[in-house]
Structures are given as structure tokens and as C-alpha cells.
Amino acid sequence: AQKVTQAQTEISVVEKEDVTLDCVYETRDTTYYLFWYKQPPSGELVFLIRRNSFDEQNEISGRYSWNFQKSTSSFNFTITASQVVDSAVYFCALRGANFGNEKLTFGTGTRLTIIP
Amino acid sequence: DSGVTQTPKHLITATGQRVTLRCSPRSGDLSVYWYQQSLDQGLQFLIQYYNGEERAKGNILERFSAQQFPDLHSELNLSSLELGDSALYFCASSVGTSGGPTDTQYFGPGTRLTVL
């Protein structure tokens, strides 16, 4: 069975601070995909990034960066110089690669509040 | 805008009633997924269709059913509604190539169902 754990339920930081959201996953699959989605107060789920299990390169996109470590089954997300618009609930998700195993298994989410 | 559309945006109904939620996937996407987001269960996978055929099933209640039509839009039918069915229902779509490196699920804005 697949499982995603986001131990941080809520985080509050002051604007311009850096913040890291933790994600730990469990799977028996050798090939899998990891995702981060953002859910702003308006409610929609916005795709941020996909990472394949065979690609452990970290990725940076503007103020966002992701650290994938297969050895510790973690896929952490860092926001640098946070802004009020970053306030949202962030979900980490895991998906298998095999036929019929394409559903996303989500963590419980981390509510991030950026204080102006 | 993800390109996935869902109607209606809000739905208020009474216990025992039946409702239909509609989803139109992104152009070119063959897979449609339904997810339920509730306060106590979080984001849970319900069911997946690929090119008109059921591909995977999650924790979907027997009172719920879905289908994908030849034009690839999908409908989720919820019957004998209970108070506990109140939730945000998301539809997502993807190209549907199992394991494909570009197979990311993009979510619609959701339908908020309130059962009174």
C-alpha cells in the first residue's frame, strides 16, 4: 500500500522568511511519481511539480525548490523569500507507474500562512 | 486555469436525494479521475476511467457511480445522499499513458456538495 505523510499540519512564517514543507512517502513500487499540489483559499488544486523516482536531481523554479531523497523516502518543498500569495494548503502526493495504479495518494496537507 | 471544467460549482440538496456532477477533461486527455475531499477523510481517490472504460476503483461507496461518455466527459452520480457525503468533489484528467513521464493529473475547480 502507498502512504504519504505530511507531519506538519500548520506552519506560520513572517513574509520573506524561508519555509520548508516536509513529505515522507512509503511505497513498494520501484518506479513511482511524486507530486506537490497547492490549494489556495479559493479551493482549486494547482499542480506544482512532478518528480520521477529514477530522477533524484533537485529542482528549482523561481522561489520554489524541491529536494528528493530516495534514501530517506522524502520529497521536501522549500519556498524562499515567502510572500503572502504563498498562503495555501500544500499537498504532497504519490502515484504508481503500473496499469491501474495511477491514482494519487495524498498526504493530509500542510496549511501555510504567511504573515505580512 | 487547468483546462478541466466541472459543473455545478456548488450544489445544495437534502438527505436521500440524488445528484449528478459533471466533468469535462482537458482537450486530448483520455483519463478522468474523481476524488473526494472532506474534513475527516482528506483527499480520497474514488474512481478512474480511461477512454470510456473503468480503470481503477478506490473507496467509492455503492451509492456512488460514474461513467465516461464517448466524448470523454464524465459524470459522477451520488444517490441516497447522507449528511456525511457533504464534501468537495474534484475531477482530474490526464493523458492516460500509464507510467508516461508526462502523465500529470490536472484538477478541475471542484463541486462543493452540501447535504442538509
| A53 in contact with chain B, both atoms CB, cutoff 8 A | no
User: A interface mutation test: which of B36, B90, B98 has the most A CBs within 10 A?
Assistant: B98
A88 pLDDT above the threshold of 80: yes
Find cell 456525511 and name the residue.
B84
Helix (H, G, I), strand (E, B) or coil at B106: strand
Name the minimum distance, in Å, from the CA of B75 to any CA of chain A: 18
Q: Which helix (H) or strand (E) holds B66?
A: strand B64-68
A99 pLDDT above the threshold of 80: no
C-alpha cell at A105: 495518494
C-alpha cell at B34: 474523481
DSSP assignment string, A15-58? TT--EEE--EEE---SSEEEEEEEE-TT---EEEEEEETT----
> In the predicted model, what is the mean pLDDT of residues A75-91?
97
The dihedral over CA atoms of B2, A36, A52, A1, expressed in degrees to the nearest 10, equals: -110
Main-chain phi, psi angles of B62, to 5 degrees: -65, -25
Interface contact flag, A104 B109, Cβ < 8 Å: no
**Burial profile A91-100: b = 16 or more Cβ within 10 angstroms, e = fewer:** bbbbbbbeee
> In the predicted model, what is the mean pLDDT of residues A21-48?
95
- Give the per-residue pLDDT at B98: 54
- Give the per-residue pLDDT at B103: 80
Nearest by Cα to A21 from A60, A59, A76: A76
pLDDT tens-digit readout, A37-59: 999 999 999 999 999 898 888 88
Amino acid at B61: L
User: B interface mutation test: which of A33, A91, A104 has the most B CBs within 10 A?
Assistant: A104
Interface contact flag, B45 A44, Cβ < 8 Å: no
Nearest by Cα to B32 from B59, B53, B11: B53
Provide the residue-wise pLDDT of chain B in tens; the chain has 116 residues.
889 999 999 999 999 999 999 999 999 899 999 999 998 889 999 999 999 999 999 989 999 999 999 999 999 999 999 999 999 999 999 986 654 555 899 999 999 999 99
Pairing of strands A110-115, A10-14: parallel
Interface contact flag, B107 A47, Cβ < 8 Å: yes
Interface contact flag, B98 A104, Cβ < 8 Å: no
Residues 6+ apart with CB under 8 A from B40: none
Strand partners, A27: none
